[in-house]
Amino acid sequence: MAGVRIVTDSACDLPEDLVRAHRIEIVPLAIRFGDEELVDREQLSVQEFYDRMATSPTLPSTAAPAPGRFAEAFHKAAADGADAVVCINLSAALSATMQSAENAARELQGDLDVRVLDSKSITMGLGSLVVSAAEAAEAGASADEVVARVEAERARTHVVGALDTLENLKKGGRIGNAQALLGGMLSIKPLVDLSTGEVKEAGKQRTRGKALRWLRDRLFEQSAVERLAVVHGFAPDLDEFLDLIAERHPRDQITVTPIGPVIGTHGGPRIIGLTWQDPA
């Protein structure tokens, strides 16, 4: 079927039912545990990742896809009859994935119209932009119109999180503008804001309970939100947090999904985060 097809990477954390429903093509990053490299979503499930991280003597790391993996996805879209591809990726400030996609797009220049966009986001912040782009494409939007929609929504997309540890973020070198958190990392529960595509300190709380209430208060400050998602690293207090926000956002009206290996590698276990878009 002719039209625009959407490609993204596995940092999007989209549930498989949404991926299938919108025919979204996901290019996987790789996860390394020491010398062992596993392909996200293909050789490593989310549950397997957290199980491994809990027992591994070394913290995991990530590797961006080779340009060839993106080229495969673009060729597949063309073979399916796509007129154009819009590829929306993990924040370029956090990964070389964008660069890999851009290299693949250049190789196809003249053969297929490929637009590569920096989401300036992660996890379901990225995922929500991808779904919105897919919905626009399904409605018959042109590549230009899909790109314009993503760029408009990107500025309204928020990602905040309560980490249980800073060890993973520190080890992965993605601490960004949250360096000040490191001084008290053993005695605080760090709060981060990635709404600009970079890791920024959003606050510090002395207890996990206070950190979760900070997340709730940040959400409740918004008069209205769209595409709200609660993302988590299999946190044991996930239900407690969902109860905290249930009076305004019942769990059957929001997306609740685990954070996959790509973001989980840096966010660490037991993280709880929120992603949403401000209304237009």
- pLDDT of amino acid 67: 98
CATH of 157-277, one of 3.90.1150.10, 1.10.10.10, 3.40.50.10300, 3.30.1180.10: 3.30.1180.10
- pLDDT of amino acid 182: 52
Give the residue ranges of DSSP H helices in the chain. 16-21, 46-55, 67-79, 97-107, 123-138, 143-154, 167-171, 208-220, 238-245, 261-267
- pLDDT of amino acid 178: 53
Instruction: Determine the Cα–Cα distance for residues 100 and 267; give it in Å rounded to an integer.
Output: 23
- pLDDT of amino acid 204: 86
- pLDDT of amino acid 186: 55
Q: pLDDT below 50 — which residues of the chain?
A: 1, 177, 180, 183
Instruction: Determine the Cα–Cα distance for residues 201 and 194; give it in Å rounded to an integer.
Output: 9
Domain boundaries, the chain: 4-29+64-154, 157-277
CATH 3.40.390.10 fits 4-29+64-154, yes or no: no
- pLDDT of amino acid 177: 47
pTM: 0.93
